[in-house]
Amino acid sequence: MRVIAGSARRLLLKTIDGLDTRPTTDRIKETLFNMLQPGLADCQFLDLFSGSGGIGIEALSRGARLSVFIENNPKAVDCIKSNLATTKLEERGIVMSCDVLTGLKRLEGKEYVFDYIFMDPPYDHEHERYVMEYLSKSALINEETTIIIEASLNTNLDYLDSLGFTVEKVKNYKTNKHLFVYKGDC
């Protein structure tokens, strides 16, 4: 896995051994960031269920002002810190070692309003539902925040409308999909 573009372009990133994380492939990452690129400069990016940190690091490399990483696996947290050091982006990265809901609660009241939130939870466990329920009442987002949910193709997210979110776009891949979600109407 590598950084695709920006200041850390072509640098290799570490991943942890085993099946505890599922790194987003370079091809999917490149497609995702081609869609996000116009708004990345000077943005605040939140990477939930961060794994190796590849998504948040890509955002930093492409000009994000700040990336916050929330990950509860200690080996993955060490991997994120190592990758931030390798890319020399650690000054603009905040790594939180805790479960996602605890991390979100800790961020409240610190004047963060994220431009982008990316989440790649373990598939088919409804973790994204709990996060979206929390975010529906959170000051961490506003109507301009883009939330990207990576999920398996069979994940049902029909409940988003009842939480006050609108799905603007769905990008399907072979085994998974990205949903681009906003609070309120687009």
Question: Taking the domains of the chain in order of start, what are their residue ranges?
Answer: 27-183
Residue 185: pLDDT band (50, 70, 90) is low
pLDDT (tens digit per residue) in 33-71 = 888 878 899 999 999 999 999 999 999 999 999 999 999
Give the CATH number of domain 27-183; options: 3.40.50.970, 3.40.109.10, 3.40.50.150, 3.20.20.105. Answer: 3.40.50.150
Mind listing the pLDDT tens digit for each residue in 67-99? 999 999 999 999 999 999 999 999 999 999 999
> 146-168, pLDDT tens digit by residue?
999 999 999 999 999 999 999 99
Q: Is the pLDDT of residue 32 over 90?
A: no
pTM: 0.90
Residue 181 in this model has a pLDDT that exceeds 80: yes
> How many residues make up the chain in this entry?
186
DSSP result, 130-162: HHHHHHTT-TT--TT-EEEEEEETT---GGGGG
Mode of pairing for the β-strands spanning 176-183 and 146-152 = antiparallel
| pLDDT for res 143 | 95
Question: Bigger pLDDT: 15 or 59?
Answer: 59
**180, β-bridge pairs:** 148, 169
